[in-house]
Amino acid sequence: MTRPGTITAAVLLVALATAAAYTGMLPWTHALAGAIVLTVLIGIYRGSDTTVEDPDWHHRREEARAGGRHEVSDLGWSMLGTDGRVKEQVARRVRDLARARLRRAGHDTTRLGVDLRGRPTVRTLATWLDAIERIPDTPERGPHA
């Protein structure tokens, strides 16, 4: 549905194009093409209402969900760099965590069993974290400790 005034603007543009063609200021093809283009642009401008949200556009709900899945998802995406590898600050933090856990368990900090160098992929980061989880949280006690 056209808004009031759009048809009036189109009639005025056609009248101006006719006058420009009649007086010889423009060839009639250029005058008609200009009137059509301007009419379409005015119709688009007047027909669009940018203050109303599109009801078909699905917005992400910002409500809290049970279990914090929203935050975990955001955290997961924020860990990755543009090349698909884990960002350096995340890799550094995991390396620091591994060293601290090994020290707490009384082990040599090189005894983890996985190579912690470089920026890992997500799959490699998972193996790092699995290896860190296998480290005992307390110092080993026993006859040979």
pLDDT at 27: 92
Q: Is the pLDDT of residue 80 over 80?
A: yes
Mean pLDDT in the chain? 79
Structure tokens at 78: 């924020």
Tens digit of each residue's pLDDT (9 = 90 or more) over 9-36: 778 888 888 898 889 898 989 988 988 8
| Residue-range domain boundaries for the chain | 6-47, 75-133
Global pTM value? 0.46
**Who contacts 108 (Cβ-Cβ below 8 Å, separation ≥6)?**
102
Is pLDDT larger for residue 93 or for residue 64? 93
Confidence of residue 116 (pLDDT cuts 50, 70, 90): confident
User: Following DSSP, what letter does each residue of 63-123 receive, concatenated?
Assistant: S--GGGHHHHHHHHHHHB-TTSSBPHHHHHHHHHHHHHHHHHHT--TT-SSS---S---HH
